[in-house]
Chains A and B, each alone.
Chain A
Amino acid sequence: MTKKQHNFSLRDFLFTYGFLLVLLLVIVYFSVTAPSFFSMNAAMSILHTAAPLLIIASGLAFVIMTKRIDISVGSIAYLSAAIGALMISRMGLPIPLAVVSMLVLSCLMGVLNGFFVVILNVNPMIATFGTQLAFRGIGLLLTNSMVVSLPRSIRFLGNKKVGPIYIDILFSLFILLIMMLIHSRTQFGRQVVAIGNDISIAEKLGIKEKRISFFAYVVCGLMAGIGAIIMSLQVGSVTPTSGTSYEFTAIAMLVIGGVSLYGGEGTILPGVLIGGITLAVIETGLNYIGASVYVYSFVRGGVIFVSMFADSLKTQVKPKVKIMEDEPTTVSNAQ
């Protein structure tokens, strides 16, 4: 019953990051069918495409790790982006001030979600569905359903490059890195995972469950706000449909990346990153090979299904129970 080393298990690794393999296969497939796919440019645009959603997904990951959910992230992104854009182009506020207010607002929306879910005990799915409707309604009301464009002076940031790399890629990797550290190297991050293991055990261990879970929603809101900045810079404007169905894309990224909806499981790096890239590779690849629009949703569903199937195998193949007893006896199994 003694273990010498933290032993590396290939099986565990495959199950956790098995999607790396699938990812590789997908890349190979697209590279063969569309030669231009296998290029630096394509790689960059994949990451570029994934950048805003990666950030949003990393925030959502915290909520999901507490075994809850937030399907309002798309609307949070829209409302905060819309307000930010209105401040800049209608009210002419200085950009830094607008950005700060945007982030504060997105936090507040997270606070609202946290309030409903954690304090009022509303089922997370229903509560955030309610706020999803309400936030978008408010955004449409404020913009009068208009496309609000960002001034040209800042639009260039959306595809500014350092060398061959878009700055938003660097930025989102930086955010992911910070989120990774928060997740794995801070008490907040660890307690989030503990809550996801079991709320009542977490409480018994002296974790302020409500406070931490509440804060997870705030973080999630904040990340939706940050993702919204990149999103609107890329597009150069905020349209009434910005952010629609982001929640499901983000959830798909997380699921593919091994963040379990049962809570307590998963990593930001490499998990969320791999999940996000896999999804982006597939969509970009379909773009490159000129697939019909109708195929997209079908393929996406299939990929989610397959990755979940793999995940279910992981839980089905229980680790073989080790037989362990007191006296180590030299007598072979007496029968």
Chain B
Amino acid sequence: MTIPYLKMDGIAKSFPGVQALKNVTFEASQGEILALVGANGAGKSTLMNVLGGNIEPNSGKIYINGKEVRISSPSDAAANGIAFVHQEMAMLPTMSIADTMYISSFPYKHGLIDYKTIYQRCRVVLKRLGCNFDPRERIRNISPGDQQMVEIGRALLHDPQIIIFDEPTSSLTSREKEHLFEVIRTLKQEGSVIIYISHFLDEVFSLCDRVMVLRNGETAGGGLVSEYTNRDIVKMMIGEKEIDTYYERSEHRAGEEIMRVKGIYRSGVINDISFSLRKGEVVGLWGQLGSGRTEVARALVGLDPIDGGTISIKMGDQMMPVKQSETKKYIGMITENRREEGLLLPMSVCNNMSLANLTNLTKKKPFSSVIDSKLENSETDKYVKRMDIKISSQAQRVETLSGGNQQKVIIGRWLQKNPPIYIMDEPTRGLDVGAKADIRRIISDLAEQGAGILVISSEIEEIMSVSDRYLVMKRGSIVAEFGSNASKEDLVATATGAASKKE
């Protein structure tokens, strides 16, 4: 075997309290796509950040083409032909596409930035990604999917030899995704080293040549993708015991109607949304990325305005129309962006988990606005245990938790409040298989206990493994409804419009 083009040797990195990487060795060759997989917090991003110059490792060496290189800044990385498509998009909303792509280093002409050249180059690069937008357009005016393309375009600007993709598909539509895969395959043919991080094993199987698995900051195995099955990889990622829960499918008994939505709309965004939700059932809201599911969810809890329509909720034994601003009292909402809208990052686990329920954690009468901290602690403890959240103490700041545990903290917050209805928008986005399974189990339990749950997910397997009923959205409208016997094909076909005439 020839020497690999890229070699990272004995990389170790610790953060205060965590050993994120322990002596990891990593190799990749030109003309291959290497999948890097692992559970949340396994150290994938950290390893790649070391390569990208964003993080200084505690020890270890990097060789490119057999020569040792020092990479201590993103510009060192760029100079060595390394490009990085980050997990979290680094967009500058008020700036133009061209500025966002060139921001770290602009070409000059006559002492000023040479925009003519920049625009030309941007057009070429974006064209290659199948995008046609004007490089002068501001970032905030383009969709998240397009922003992801800009992010990728930036990585390709300087014809890199090594390209790192850290979960690039989470905000792409399936067509955009396919296009991206084609581009990646072309890059591979041109002889680049491609490192591809993803939680979607199907992507790994359809795109990648080789796989490397990280677990707890250590190499857990790897080799040619064709030699492994899905289960093998999962086993390497999370260890033996937990795989069983992975493809669980549960059925619930639906009870009486608990929420009825009638004709809510917001012009240009969602149209005439009507449906009802029953006790003890999980309704999957399915649709393509950008079909308006999030908008519906946000409208239901008054986070976005609506132009008309009514929302009724069961109170006592009657359905009562509820003002949009009041629905929050009955609905537990889990938004799709947990860092921005789900957590109080610098605050403690305890403070985060009691946030929605504070008015119920008070002392008796004359002190009815004083929080009973014993009660608060015991309630928190109860749900930490019930959901098996891994924390060192209730006072731990949530920003130091892993993504899966963070998500559980948010769910725990609502369990504590115990509303009759839940809306969960992408509750497992960015989580590893183990955490995903945990959260599905929680959803199932909730339904069993009689809650009505509306779940939005972009993963068809996931939504099919939890839902009892499906609503399919397209272009801001609900276009179809299916029972639990719906097939994958039904859902995909109605959502994409290929079979939109079918009722």
Contacts and interface: CB of A to CB of B under 8 A. Distances in A.
Contacts of B1: none
Contacts of B153: none
A161 interface: no
Contact of B112 (A181, A197, A265, A329): A181
B46 interface: no
B90 interface: yes
A191 B103 contact: yes
- Judged by DSSP, the binding face of A is loop
B16 to A, nearest CB: 18
Given A205-B74, A321-B295, A185 B268 contact: no
Contact of B500 (A190, A206, A321, A334): A334
Interface string B140-172: 110101100000000000000000000000000
Contacts of A32: none
Interface stretch (B229-237, B412-420, B473-481): B473-481
Contacts of B53: 206
B86 interface: yes
Given A323-B475, A333-B475, A334-B501, A264 B94 contact: yes
Interface in A198-224: 198, 201-202, 204-207
B5 to A, nearest CB: 23
B169 to A, nearest CB: 14
A231 B115 CA distance: 36
A199 to B, nearest CB: 11
A245 interface: no
A67 to B, nearest CB: 11
A198 B295 contact: no
A206 B93 contact: no
Interface string B188-203: 0000000000000000
B134 interface: yes
Contact of B103 (A4, A181, A190, A335): A190
Nearest to A333: B477
B95 interface: yes
Contacts of A152: none
Given A325-B290, A326-B173, A3 B112 contact: no
Contacts of A320: 267-269
Contact of B134 (A1, A3, A198, A265): A3
B271 A329 contact: no
A197 B104 contact: no
Interface in A65-123: none
Contact of A185 (B92, B112, B477): B112
Nearest to B106: A187
B134 A5 contact: yes
A194 B106 contact: no
Nearest to A197: B92
A202 B145 CA distance: 21
Contacts of A326: 173-175, 288, 496
Interface residues of A, number: 39
Nearest to B173: A326
A206 B84 CA distance: 12
A6 interface: yes
A328 to B, nearest CB: 9
Contact of A190 (B78, B106, B140, B292): B106
A327 B140 CA distance: 24
A334 to B, nearest CB: 5
B291 interface: yes
B309 to A, nearest CB: 15
Nearest to A2: B132
A190 B272 contact: no
A193 interface: yes
Interface string B107-150: 01000110100000000000000011110110011010110000
Contact of A3 (B103, B137, B268, B501): B137
B213 to A, nearest CB: 26
Given A191-B103, A205-B90, A326-B174, A197 B95 contact: yes
A322 B173 CA distance: 14
Contacts of B113: 185-187, 190
Contact of A331 (B74, B90, B106, B501): B501
A6 B474 contact: no
B132 A327 contact: no
Contacts of A2: 131-133
B105 interface: yes
A327 B496 contact: yes
B497 interface: yes
A327 B141 CA distance: 21
Contact of A207 (B103, B145, B288, B497): B103
A290 interface: no
B99 interface: yes
Contacts of A329: 497, 500
Contacts of B140: 319
Interface string B261-273: 0000001110110
Contacts of B54: 204
B327 interface: no
B496 A206 contact: no
Contact of B477 (A191, A194, A335): A335
Given A185-B113, A205-B104, A335-B477, A194 B92 contact: yes
A206 B73 contact: yes
A141 interface: no
A333 B473 CA distance: 11
A327 to B, nearest CB: 5
B269 A323 contact: yes
A25 to B, nearest CB: 28
Interface in A276-335: 319-327, 329, 331, 333-335
Given A186-B112, A264-B95, A265-B94, A206 B143 contact: no
Nearest to A193: B95
Given A320-B268, A323-B291, A334 B479 contact: yes
Contacts of A331: 497, 500-501
B132 A3 contact: yes
B91 interface: yes
B90 A321 contact: no
Interface centre among B53, B95, B271 (most CB of A within 10 A): B95
23 contacts: A1-B145, A2-B133, A3-B132, A5-B134, A181-B112, A187-B106, A190-B99, A197-B94, A197-B95, A198-B92, A204-B54, A205-B74, A205-B90, A264-B94, A265-B94, A319-B141, A320-B268, A323-B268, A325-B497, A329-B497, A329-B500, A331-B497, A334-B479
Closest 8 CB pairs of A and B: A206-B74, A206-B104, A329-B497, A185-B112, A326-B175, A2-B132, A197-B92, A320-B268
Given A193-B99, A194-B92, A319-B140, 8 more contacts: A185-B113, A204-B86, A321-B295, A323-B268, A326-B175, A333-B475, A333-B477, A334-B500
